[in-house]
Amino acid sequence: MAVKNNKIKCKYLLKGVPASPGIAISKVFKLKSESISIDPTIVDDSSVDTEVEKFVKAVEKSKSELKSLQSKVVRKVGLENAKIFDVHQLLLEDSVIIEETIHSIKKENKSAEFAFFHIMQKYENTLNGSSTNHFQNRSSDLRDVKRRVIRHIQGDRTDQLNQLSGSAVIVTNDLTPSDAVMLEKRKVLGFATDLGGRTSHAAIMARSMEVPSVVGLRRIFNLVEEGDRIVIDGNEGKVLIQPDEKTINHYRKLQEKYYDTNRKLDEIRDLKCLTIDGKEIELSANLEFSDEAESVKSHGAKGVGLYRTDYIYLTKKELPTEEEQFQEYRKIVKKISPDPVIIRTMDLGGDKLPKSFLIPPQENPFLGWRAIRISLDRKDIFETQLRAILRASGAGNVKILFPMISGLDEVHECKKALENAKSELQKEGIKYDLDIEIGVIIEVPSAALLADKIAKEVDFLSIGTNDLVQYLLAVDRGNERIAYLYQHLHPAILRMIKQIIMAGHQEGVWVGMCGEMASDPLSTLILIGMDLDEFSVSPIAVPEIKKIIRSTEYREAARIAKKVLQFDRPSEVERFMTKVVRKKFKNLIF
Ligand code: PEP
Ligand code: MG
């Protein structure tokens, strides 16, 4: 399906969800997903021995993995239940399977994974055709063994990423937050994924790494070949595969223009964030890694409105110790000082699965054991983190933010845990900010409806639209098929935001927004007009949002907010705001 028009000529042109702005032009590096997908690869004669060796090693690795798994299971549930692993090990010692695979590599030049997959599939089909349960169960054993060996042949994601030598665009079915933390920023020029939406955590990570990305492309992984030339247009959500020279030159010009606009925006970096008529608005940035603190400052943000501490847990095999966390938090706090750093307690679960402790598979992970629910269940983990945050508060201006609160009991429990951590530190004579402020992310609809009551208990509220939109509209934030329904300009969302801000103000606390809506130029005027006190946006969005705030009159924004609250549909709000913003800010990037 070649594409040709005046400016664009390429093999495929795909449209997805723009996840991180900018333009990348490079070659493809295919990152295979952990669920096995097999390329039917035929190798050269010279590679046959390497493929055989790969296969034999993968079988050995699988056997020793099974042995250690078995002894763990014996300890936990007894010998009888661990017998299943005997069956799996026997399958790996089956000389017919091993010899047939090696034969197929040597005689048919199939790659190791392709040959083994084929042989196993043959036996699986035979067993599946059987009418007895016994043989059908054996078929699931075969499947398990097949996946294990193939995973070792392909290497896990870490092994694969280690093979990335130069810089490239990563093309993958799905990028999890744990993959994203392993990426070397200087080698990754862009991302393109089949799955995911704008607020899936991998997309958020891409923005924090300032890497142009498009997600939700549905079928890119199967369309591209390793090493293909590729253009990622993260502004428009387009991906071009195998573009011709003229198309590449066209995109180089767009890339230059994009950098130029950004350079110009950077000129307002040190100016205050005030509306034309003098209303001061806090503009801070969201941060995921300590080495991003520099970029928070260089883009002109005043402090960190959301520090997602989850990545400390995702990068390590063991739980991070209090000391490790303290050192990390303090490093950021010192860099950002005297501006505030709002540290959110961990928000694991959902799509963020740590290696250091088990979050069992759940039917609905985003509605399950996640964030504060884990913290309140695992007080050991929670209080260790609270102690580390409190200790870091001795080094600058720190506030604490609790995620996924759904009601007042949880707020009370958080406060109790914080008091425990404080009194322990006091006993030990360790310094911390005695008046440390606490806040709650309003991201669950029940908390939004109780915002006035919650506000009485805390010092500030921060609206987490990424989850609030997902929960209020019942739209999975990471599902590309329903991305069209994931709309923060939905009238129901706008009403709810207005209500949260009013409830906070009525109780005398400030209200910010740390969800991605705060970074959307189409939302800025509405939020100013609704009296939002603080915007916390991804660092790359800071200059653009500052520019809009500085070019806006508060009174006009209030009129606009009032008007859009009358609309019935998201499309009407979007159309109206696009017109307003285009007219007012011709020189910006929209
Ligand atoms: C949110 O839900 O809006 C938020 C800021 O948190 P996260 O994206 O980490 O879930
Ligand atoms: Mg959230």
Residue 386's closest CA among 411, 422, 429, 349?
Answer: 422
Ligand 1 geometric centre to CA of 372 (Å): 13
Task: Give yes or no for residue 199 having a pLDDT over 60.
Answer: yes
From the CA of 306, give the closest atom in ligand 1.
5
Ranked by mean pLDDT, which of 120-134, 359-373, 456-470 comes out on top?
456-470
175 or 137, which is more confident: 175
Give how far Cα 563 sits from Cα of 60, 474, 535, Å: 67, 26, 21
pLDDT tens digits, 404-462: 999 999 999 999 999 999 999 999 999 999 999 999 999 999 999 999 999 999 999 99
Percent of the chain with pLDDT over 70: 93
115 lines ligand 1 (CB under 6 A): no
Predicted pLDDT of residue 177: 75
265 or 102, which is more confident: 102
Percent of the chain with pLDDT over 90: 67
Predicted pLDDT of residue 248: 96
466 lines ligand 1 (CB under 6 A): yes
350 lines ligand 1 (CB under 6 A): no
Q: Are 233 and 192 in contact (CB under 8 A)?
A: no
Q: How many residues does the chain have?
A: 590
pLDDT band at 573 (very low <50, low <70, confident <90, very high): very high
Overall average pLDDT of the 180-196 stretch: 85
202 lines ligand 1 (CB under 6 A): no
Task: Give yes or no for residue 133 having a pLDDT over 70.
Answer: no
Q: Which long-range contacts (CB under 8 A, 24 or more apart) does 95-101 make?
A: 97/123, 98/59, 101/55
For the chain, percent helix, then strand, then coil, each to nearest 5?
A: 55, 15, 30
Task: Give yes or no for residue 78 having a pLDDT over 70.
Answer: no
Nearest-ligand number for the alpha carbon of 536: 1
Ligand 1 geometric centre to CA of 464 (Å): 5
Question: Residue for token digits 């939020």?
Answer: 527
Overall average pLDDT of the 473-493 stretch: 95
477 lines ligand 1 (CB under 6 A): no
Predicted pLDDT of residue 129: 66
Nearest-ligand number for the alpha carbon of 346: 1
Predicted pLDDT of residue 590: 43
From the CA of 204, give the closest atom in ligand 1.
8
197 lines ligand 1 (CB under 6 A): no
Which amino acid residue places its CA nearest to atom 4 of ligand 1?
A: 464
Q: Distance from first CA to last CA of the chain, Å, rounded?
A: 29
From the CA of 463, give the closest atom in ligand 1.
3
Report the residue among 207, 443, 470 best suited for mutation to probe ligand 1: largest number of ligand atoms under 8 A from its CB: 443
DSSP string, 348-377: -BTTB--SSS-----SSGGGSS-THHHHHH
* Integer Cα distance of 135 and 112 in angstroms: 26
Ligand 2 geometric centre to CA of 336 (Å): 23
Predicted pLDDT of residue 314: 87
